[in-house]
Amino acid sequence: MYLVTGATGNVGSEVVRALRAGGYPVRAVLRDARAAAGLPAGTEHVIGDLDDAATLVPAVEGVQGIFLLPGYTGNAELLAAAVGAEVPRLVQLSGGSAGSRDLTNAVTAMMAQAEDLATASGLSWTILRPASFMSNTFRWLPQLRAGDELRLPFAHVPTAVIDPADIGAAAAAALTSDEHAGRTYTLSGPESLTPADQIAILAEELARPLSVIALTDEETYADYLTQMPKAYADAFMDFYSRGSLDESAVLSTVTDLTGRAPANYRDWIRAHKADLEA
């Protein structure tokens, strides 16, 4: 049995799918029981909240591995319970900036804390640091529905964006083998693309004359402040305006872990075309 937190999210849902496709039993953590209808057949579920570890402590009994999201107040208590239950493996989701250990950056600090909890937990851990997700494309849906002109932040910053399904497959590989104990893996997609590059591919696949207006840093920051706390807005400006985070490298890690090449962005669009045209 494998416990997957964030089981309906971008990555957690793909971890569940990968494990179930491999025939492994899964205990999915949900906040809302209604979400169970979207789980793969045969998936067990529990209702819990990572900000309230008491709701999840019983769920660690009898599991062989835990896939854990970062940034929740109950993570330390959940890991302690996992040690007590003699859970063999932990896969901790993190991010590429964690390696810098720049604790003045709020996102980096959150990821670094998650990694520190994992490595100090006493569990056999593996850390995954994926690049930005291809599924972030869904953030453009309101603009796509409004017209063919998209206003984008950091339109010319290249990133080797990754399909969350490939993160899920990598996590499943690490959860089900002792081979990856004590390892930290940086994951990427197969090509480095700017947001403008992504829109060009999206335009071809949707057969629409999409165009990009690159927001200035000032416009981007003002927009971010309407969407998130200032500390996180500052963090993203640090990453992509001041260049403290470089996610442009194309790595072989997904293939090394899973035995197959990661999906490219065009593949991802084709797999999600109905949602992008909705």
Quote the tokens at residue 144: 């796509």
What is the rounded CA–CA span in Å between residue 174 and residue 81?
21
SS (H, E, C) 121-157: CCCEEEEEEECCEHHHHHHHHHHHHHCCEEEECCCCC
Cα Rg for the chain, rounded, in angstroms? 19
Q: Can you give the residue ranges of every domain in the chain?
A: 2-133+163-188+249-263
Burial of 149: CB neighbours in 10 Å, binned 0-12, 13-18, 19+: exposed
pLDDT at 104 over 90: yes
Average pLDDT over residues 8-26: 97
The CATH class, in words, for 2-133+163-188+249-263 is alpha beta
Amino acid identity of residue 200, one-letter, is A
Average pLDDT over residues 113-137: 97
pLDDT in tens, 223-273: 999 999 999 999 999 999 999 999 999 999 999 999 999 999 999 999 999
pLDDT in tens, 41-83: 999 999 999 999 999 999 999 999 999 999 999 999 999 999 9
pLDDT at 278 over 90: no
pLDDT at 105 over 90: yes
Quote the tokens at residue 232: 């996180």
Predicted TM-score (pTM) of the model is 0.96
